[in-house]
Amino acid sequence: MPGHGTHRSSLSGRFSHDADVDYEIRTVLGAAFSGAADVGEVLAAVADVGTDHRAWFRAWDALGDRVAALGESSAAAGHRVSGASAFLRASAYLAVAVNAVAALDDDELLLPTFRKHRAAWDRWVDLVDLEVERVALPYEGATLPGWFFRAPGSSDEPRPTLVAVNGSDGSTTALWSACVSGALRRGYHALVFDGPGQQSMLFEHGVPFRPDFEAVLTPVLDAVVARPDVDADRVAVYGISQAGYWVTRALAFEHRPAAAVVDPGVLAVAASWEREVPKSLLKLLDKGDDRAFDRDMELGMRFSKGTARTWRFRARPYGVDGYAATLREVRRYDASDVAGQVTTPLLVTSPEDEQFWPGQSERLAGLVPGATLVTFSDDEGASAHCQPLARALTEQRMFDWLDERLAR
């Protein structure tokens, strides 16, 4: 399942011998390019953590609290730029603390930690020298929370707009680093939002994921193209991590976007889960023997409490109970049969040493007519899922491609 994998790049092991810890640190450090991290304070905070899960949580929680306090102090003294910078970093660090709850014995700290993260994000939105509009996006008789960023210096003339779709457990801050900051510097507007099963929709409202993401993207696009400041003919969609599946699935049925990027390509979400499950157990599931599958999984989890906690955290957004039922639900998230229906020009990233969905970018690019596959290598410092230490290079390649497709 996502969050567990062995990354054997020549760059691995530099920050931690634990592959998951190492990857998390890399992801945060990569956000320094967009101002959402400061390298020194990150490395200092995790220097003595080791592999103790509670110490890992405490390190990020304490760092987020400390940097948020710096932001409050600067803002109170009238230093808006410094205050905004600190709150952006604090929101990124507290987002790591939210995910770190997965390794704790219980979820008691999940909601309060998430609310601290979101409070830091909201303080940044209020202080940053950008036009950011909080929006409520219609969805299933309710709304999804979103943030619409207007390109700096933009007049009333409609602009190209990037709609950003998050992964399974990504934060809004992560989307700022992944694509929003780059979009704004290039004159695009940008929208980020919490979809079903993501962030506030999951933690505060209990709304689970759904596989038919066109039911989400279509009303989001309806709201975006209705805005007078958006050029409806130049709307693009970006999906990071597991959103490689969601965006692909949605575009098989929703054809209005002028271009899209999936980073990376994801066809079958379950592949990242099943590689961690013994083949003998998967055979039980395939035979329909759910009782035996659940029995053997339960036995295995007794001997690996860390894995059991991670499973519980990763399974929560799917909204079902039981090991077999969860894995069957995850298997529904498969775009293999509909990817050929995508007509939107599509860029698919493919990093060397992709640890969660290896080979799926290439498969997706082969199924979508005219798709563009862009590879990233270890030699470029751009290996591993979502190229965590090469976000500048990723931004350059994807926006150069988008600029050409969204040109007037």
Average pLDDT of span 344-350: 98
Q: For 187-201, what is each residue's pLDDT tens digit?
A: 999 999 999 999 999
Residue with tokens 């220097």: 47
DSSP code for 268: B
Six-digit token string for 27: 């992801």
pLDDT at residue 192, as a whole number: 98
For residue 255 the two structure tokens come to 């054809």
Choose the final residue of a domain: 109, 129, 149: 129
- pLDDT tens, position by position, 152-183: 987 778 999 999 999 999 999 999 999 999 99
Same-domain pairing of 242 and 376: yes
Give the domain-ending residue among 106, 129, 152: 129
pLDDT surpassing 50 at residue 369: yes
Backbone angles phi, psi at 9, to 5 degrees: -60, 155
CATH number of the domain at 231, please: 3.40.50.1820
The one-letter code for the residue type at 176 is: W
pLDDT of 13:
52
Residues 184 and 64 in one domain: no
Q: Which CATH number belongs to the domain containing residue 42 in this structure? A: 1.20.1440
- Asked whether residue 259 falls in the same domain as residue 287, the answer is no
Tokens 């994921």, residue located: 209
Is residue 163 within 8 Å of residue 246, measured between CB atoms? no
Does the N-terminal peptide bond of residue 264 adopt cis geometry, omega within 30 degrees of 0? yes
CA dist., res. 108 & res. 106, Å (int): 6
Shared domain for 251 and 378, answered yes or no, is yes
Same domain assignment for residues 159 and 264: yes
pTM equals 0.94
* Distance separating alpha carbons of residues 394 and 390, to the nearest angstrom: 6
Cα dihedral sign, 304-307-312-318:
negative
> Does residue 398 share a domain with residue 364?
yes
Are 15 and 163 part of one and the same domain? Answer: no
What number of CA atoms fall less than 13 Å from residue 286's CA on the CB side?
Answer: 8
Task: Residue 321: give the domain boundaries.
Answer: 271-331
Distance between the two ends of the chain, CA-based, in angstroms?
42
Q: Which amino acid is at 366?
A: G
367 shares its domain with 307? no
Quote the CA–CA distance of 103 and 223 in Å, as a whole number: 38
Looking at residue 223, its pLDDT comes to 98
- Same-domain pairing of 326 and 197: no
Q: How many domains does the chain have?
A: 3
Please, which residues bridge with residue 374 across strands? 349
Q: DSSP 3-state helix, strand, coil percentages of the chain (rounded to 5)?
A: 50, 15, 35
Is the pLDDT at 244 greater than 60? The verdict is: yes
Strands (E), 241-289: 259-263
- Three-state DSSP at 38 gives coil
**Mean pLDDT across the chain:** 94
Whether residue 112 is found in the same domain as residue 159: no
245 and 367 share a domain? yes
Nearest to 270 by CA among 338, 190, 333, 360: 333
Residue-wise pLDDT tens digits, 116-135: 999 999 999 999 999 999 99
* Residues 383/376, Cβ–Cβ less than 8 Å: yes
pLDDT tens for 207-243 read 999 999 999 999 999 999 999 999 999 999 999 999 9
The predicted-structure confidence for 280-311, as pLDDT tens digits, reads as follows: 999 999 999 999 999 999 999 988 877 888 88
Residue 16: both structure tokens together: 């931690």
Phi, psi for residue 200 in degrees, rounded to 5: -60, -35
